[in-house]
């Protein structure tokens, strides 16, 4: 980026002049593209940045953003919500989880509905708050419903570490952590996919490093740029991707170099490896079962695992989403939220039908919030 001084980026990641300059450079590069370029931003945080700042409107017509499955709440299947509700309805039990999880619809309602009927369901900003809740309620079982991609997994591992070291006997775990690379792999293995390049998640990459995307550049020949969340970050990442395409390259590049490197946070990775291991498969809402896409507690920690302890009461039914809901296709990058017949009608943030509207990171929530009709 010879025409853009590095200092300009650090003086204002939302600077309008910088954004316009990047848009002009993208347009110039895009004029050399041999076909339309479809870029999937995997992370819901990037989707919101794109819609909030109207970045999609600044791109030339031959470059399109398509939205991916990088919202942990959006990909949580109904069966896992049913697990949480079943646990919440047990006597003398407190369910602890993060934010939007309580609003996701299972087969017969949400955790929020269960709470309205008398279940003790609490959402926290930090998993470590579960320690305080367990210590203050030693006569009850406290079950932490752990969700999230690689970003939040170390916090669960830290909570596990503290639970064991402090010898807390009434805190248990229902693990729903999922991984980005297997989901990306599943999308690309679908012969009908329309993905030309990826904007890689930034917070995930802080933990895992950019190395987790090497296979997509080397094997699938899809360029990946790990991007920050600010508008200048995203626009610079688009420019980097267009240049790769024009130069016939498929590489993993890091735009978000102020926080991300190739190896990631080794200490966090070691902590995860101590307590967690990869599941054979995990169901992604809208995508189905994906091999090696989820994490679970290692067998040696089964005494903390709510899935093991309460396996006899947990449901294992197959749950279908609303027939008119397009969340599955949206998560695959094959449809846009405003193409769904339910969007902004039957499905709103107040009355969400699909998971993409429930989560604050969901693509449907972004389109609704920023008035994309």
| pLDDT tens digits, one per residue of 227-286 | 999 999 999 999 999 999 999 999 999 999 999 999 999 999 999 999 999 999 999 988
Q: How far apart are the first and last CA of the chain?
A: 35
**What is the second-level CATH architecture of the domain 78-178+264-309?**
3-Layer(aba) Sandwich (3.40)
Asked whether the domain spanning 78-178+264-309 has the same topology as the one spanning 36-71+181-254, the reply is yes
3-state DSSP assignment of residue 282 = strand
User: In the prediction, which pLDDT does 10 show?
Assistant: 52
Neighbouring-strand partners of residue 289: 283
pLDDT in tens, 74-91: 899 999 999 999 999 999
* φ, ψ of residue 279 in degrees (nearest 5): -75, 160
pLDDT greater than 80 at residue 66: yes
Helix (H, G, I), strand (E, B) or coil at 276: strand
CA dist., res. 18 & res. 233, Å (int): 10
The pLDDT of residue 2 is above 50: no
Where do the domains of the chain lie? 36-71+181-254, 78-178+264-309, 327-369
Residue range 284-289: mean pLDDT, rounded? 88
Q: What is the CATH number of domain 36-71+181-254?
A: 3.40.50.11750
Mean pLDDT (the chain) is 93
């Amino acid at each position: 980026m010879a025409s853009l001084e590095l200092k300009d980026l650090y003086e204002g990641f939302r600077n309008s002049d910088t954004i316009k300059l990047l848009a002009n450079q993208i347009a110039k590069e895009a004029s050399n593209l041999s076909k339309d370029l479809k870029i999937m931003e995997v992370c819901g945080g990037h989707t919101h940045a794109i819609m909030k700042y109207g970045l999609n409107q600044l791109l030339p017509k031959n470059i399109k953003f398509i939205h991916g499955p990088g919202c942990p709440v959006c990909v949580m299947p109904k069966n896992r919500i049913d697990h949480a509700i079943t646990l919440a309805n047990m006597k003398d039990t407190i369910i602890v989880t993060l934010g939007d999880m309580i609003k996701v619809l299972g087969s017969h309602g949400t955790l929020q509905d269960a709470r309205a009927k008398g279940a003790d369901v609490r959402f926290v900003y930090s998993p470590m708050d579960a320690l305080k809740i367990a210590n203050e309620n030693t006569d009850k079982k406290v079950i932490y419903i752990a969700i999230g991609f690689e970003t939040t997994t170390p916090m669960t591992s830290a909570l596990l570490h503290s639970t064991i070291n402090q010898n807390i006997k009434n805190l248990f775990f229902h693990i729903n952590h999922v991984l980005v690379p297997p989901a990306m792999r599943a999308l690309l293995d679908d012969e009908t996919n329309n993905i030309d390049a990826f904007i890689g998640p930034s917070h995930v990459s802080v933990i895992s490093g950019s190395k987790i995307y090497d296979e997509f550049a080397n094997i699938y020949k899809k360029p990946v740029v790990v991007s920050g969340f600010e508008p200048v970050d995203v626009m610079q990442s688009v420019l980097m991707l267009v240049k790769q395409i024009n130069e016939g390259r498929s590489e993993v590049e890091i735009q978000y170099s102020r926080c991300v490197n190739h190896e990631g946070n080794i200490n966090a990775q070691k902590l995860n490896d101590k307590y967690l291991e990869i599941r054979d498969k995990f169901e992604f809402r809208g995508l189905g079962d994906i091999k090696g896409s989820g994490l679970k507690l290692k067998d040696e920690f089964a005494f903390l695992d709510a899935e093991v302890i309460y396996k006899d009461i947990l449901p294992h039914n197959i749950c279908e989403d609303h027939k008119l809901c397009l969340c599955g296709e949206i998560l695959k990058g094959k449809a846009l939220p405003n193409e769904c017949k339910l969007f902004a009608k039957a499905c709103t943030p107040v009355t969400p039908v699909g998971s993409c509207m429930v989560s604050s990171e969901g693509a449907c929530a972004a389109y609704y919030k920023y008035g994309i009709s």
